[in-house]
């Protein structure tokens, strides 16, 4: 027990810094994924010539394992597009790529879920298509999509431990490095697993609570 | 630029190594089948525990499901591969090692069983209580009620969700390369080291997984629709 406390406590900075990187990369990834997902969703719904491309993109993001995407972004994109040049950027780009496909579908079902009559009514009162989107469709759609959006964030947090594979110094990376330094996998890896479980559990409980509250208030 | 793009999609390097890559893909599928068996088995056990009349058993089942649903698969994979063998070594005073394949199957099976627990539970709970009471009052025994009344309806309800879980599990099998199980991604990494040409290899791997999983999801969608149509009596 004393041993365990010493290793974990003496390296608390490592764990904290790792957690910070995990939080950073997850937040960047979900923010980029939201923007990307929205663009792709709008392309798919309202831009006929590019619909097939958007559909292919969505299917690709949803049907390829996240680890494969991470490797692909990390090794192939720099040669193909000249970007990303850092592991951190490759990490969030891959996480965002995966989520943007799922979010595009979430957004689409949210927008399509709004009854057609609402759109027609808004247009016939003289609102432009843009204003209809801004003031009639989006406010309702956002309310409906919020729970799935937050769940996607949870998925990002869970997948983010994979970026340790490409040497992004997140929580998992630090844990593996500490293990190879101290050679105490039992303490270090168990504590890390506990941290991940606790974070994901707390986040998912919070999401469930918030979604229930939204539903009881507005639905 | 165009040359690089072409290189990304041409399959010559892939064709050269086709046998080793196919073997990798076969490894993906064997890990998938073994861990699917474990996941369904443990999922059923935990689901029965969650539905049992004993509060302590119910609590254990809920804890089990929550634990494995909330652990990232990669973290669980690494943990299973390194920690239990050491603990067993300390306990049994003999050196214990898990083979990568064994760790992979256990970790992915457990991770996935948490989701199966919830899927099975939702399926069974969706059967109205009245059906059970009606079946029992016509004289069917408990086992017969389960076999002829509950299961046929519950399976139909949970099949689409369960099939989606299987697809997620198949996607997760790509992680096992990280503990040196020789799956497709592992072989790709090895060939990349030899050839120093990551672009065609990783693009090829992504396309292969894309095609396989897209085909399977389309199949699942078709099957689910068929089942739903049958269920609508």
Domain boundaries, chain B: 2-231
| CA–CA min distance A69, chain B (Å) | 7
**What is the C-alpha to C-alpha distance for residues B92 and B44, in angstroms, rounded to an integer?**
31
Average pLDDT over residues B124-138: 89
For the cut 70, the answer to whether the pLDDT of residue B212 exceeds it is: yes
pLDDT in tens, B169-200: 999 999 999 999 999 999 999 998 888 888 88
For the cut 80, the answer to whether the pLDDT of residue B54 exceeds it is: yes
For the cut 90, the answer to whether the pLDDT of residue A156 exceeds it is: yes
Do the Cβ atoms of A161 and A196 come closer than 8 Å? Answer: yes
| Token pair of B69 as six digits | 């649903």
Q: What is the pLDDT of residue B11?
A: 64
For the cut 60, the answer to whether the pLDDT of residue B231 exceeds it is: no
**What is the C-alpha to C-alpha distance for residues B50 and B114, in angstroms, rounded to an integer?**
12
Tally of CA atoms within 13 A in the half-sphere of B13 that contains its CB: 21
DSSP code per residue over A131-190: HHIIIIIHHHHHHHHHHHHHHHHHHHHHHGGGGGGGT--SHHHHHHHHHHHH--HHHHHH
CA-wise closest residue to A161 among A31, A7, A21, A9? A21
**What is the C-alpha to C-alpha distance for residues A7 and A187, in angstroms, rounded to an integer?**
8
| CA–CA min distance A171, chain B (Å) | 10
Most confident stretch, A70-74, A182-186, B49-53, B151-155: A70-74
3-state secondary structure of A125: coil
CATH of segment(s) A2-218: 1.10.3720.10
> Which residues of chain A have a CB within 8 Å of the CB of B98?
none
CATH class of B2-231: mainly alpha
For the cut 50, the answer to whether the pLDDT of residue B106 exceeds it is: yes
Q: What is the pLDDT of residue A216?
A: 86
In A38-97, the residues whose Cβ lies within 8 Å of chain B are 59-60, 62-69, 71-72, 75-76, 79-80
pLDDT in tens, A44-103: 988 889 999 999 999 999 999 999 999 999 999 998 888 889 999 999 999 999 999 999
CB-nearest to A80 from B4, B67, B76 is B4
Tally of CA atoms within 13 A in the half-sphere of B80 that contains its CB: 24
| CA–CA min distance B107, chain A (Å) | 13
* Per-residue pLDDT band at B18 (split at 50, 70, 90): confident
Test mutation, A65, A166, A187, chain B, max B CBs within 10 A: A65
Do the Cβ atoms of A152 and A33 come closer than 8 Å? Answer: yes
């Amino acid at each position: 027990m004393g041993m365990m406390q010493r290793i974990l406590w003496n390296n608390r900075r490592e764990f904290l810094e790792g957690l910070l990187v995990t939080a950073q990369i997850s937040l960047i990834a979900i923010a980029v994924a939201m923007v990307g997902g929205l663009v792709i969703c709008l392309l798919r719904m309202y831009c006929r010539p590019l619909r097939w491309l958007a559909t292919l993109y969505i299917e690709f993001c949803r049907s390829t394992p996240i680890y494969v995407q991470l490797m692909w972004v990390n090794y192939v994109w720099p040669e193909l597009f000249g970007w990303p040049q850092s592991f951190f950027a490759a990490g969030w780009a891959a996480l965002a790529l995966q989520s943007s496909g799922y979010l595009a579908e979430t957004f689409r079902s949210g927008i399509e879920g709004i009854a057609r009559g609402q759109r027609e009514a808004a247009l016939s009162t003289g609102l432009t298509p843009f204003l209809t989107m801004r003031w009639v469709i989006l406010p309702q759609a956002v309310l409906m999509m919020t729970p799935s959006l937050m769940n996607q964030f949870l998925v990002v947090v869970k997948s983010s431990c994979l970026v340790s594979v490409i040497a992004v110094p997140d929580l998992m990376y630090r844990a593996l490095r500490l293990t190879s330094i101290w050679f105490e996998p039992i303490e270090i890896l168990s504590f890390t697993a506990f941290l991940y479980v606790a974070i994901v559990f707390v986040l998912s409980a919070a999401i469930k609570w918030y979604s229930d509250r939204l539903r009881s208030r507005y639905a | 630029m165009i040359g690089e793009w072409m290189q990304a999609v041409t399959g010559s390097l892939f064709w050269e190594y086709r046998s080793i890559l196919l073997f990798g893909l076969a490894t993906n599928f064997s890990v998938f089948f073994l861990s699917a068996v474990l996941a369904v088995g443990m999922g059923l056990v935990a689901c029965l525990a969650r539905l049992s009349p004993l509060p302590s058993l119910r609590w254990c089942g809920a804890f089990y499901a929550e634990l494995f649903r909330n652990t990232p698969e990669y973290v669980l994979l690494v943990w299973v591969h390194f920690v239990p063998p050491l603990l067993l070594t300390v306990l049994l005073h003999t050196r214990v090692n898990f083979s990568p394949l064994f760790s992979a199957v256990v970790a992915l099976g457990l991770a996935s069983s948490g989701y199966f627990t919830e899927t099975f539970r939702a399926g069974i709970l969706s059967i109205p209580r009245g059906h059970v009471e009606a079946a029992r009052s016509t004289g069917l025994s408990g086992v017969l009620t389960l076999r002829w009344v509950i299961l046929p309806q519950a399976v139909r309800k949970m099949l689409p969700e369960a099939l989606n879980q299987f697809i997620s599990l198949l996607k997760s099998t790509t992680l096992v390369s990280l503990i040196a199980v020789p799956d497709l991604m592992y072989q790709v990494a090895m060939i990349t080291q030899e050839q120093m040409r990551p672009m065609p290899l990783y693009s090829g791997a992504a396309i292969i997984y894309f095609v396989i999983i897209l085909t399977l999801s389309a199949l699942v969608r078709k099957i689910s629709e068929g089942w739903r149509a049958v269920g609508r009596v």
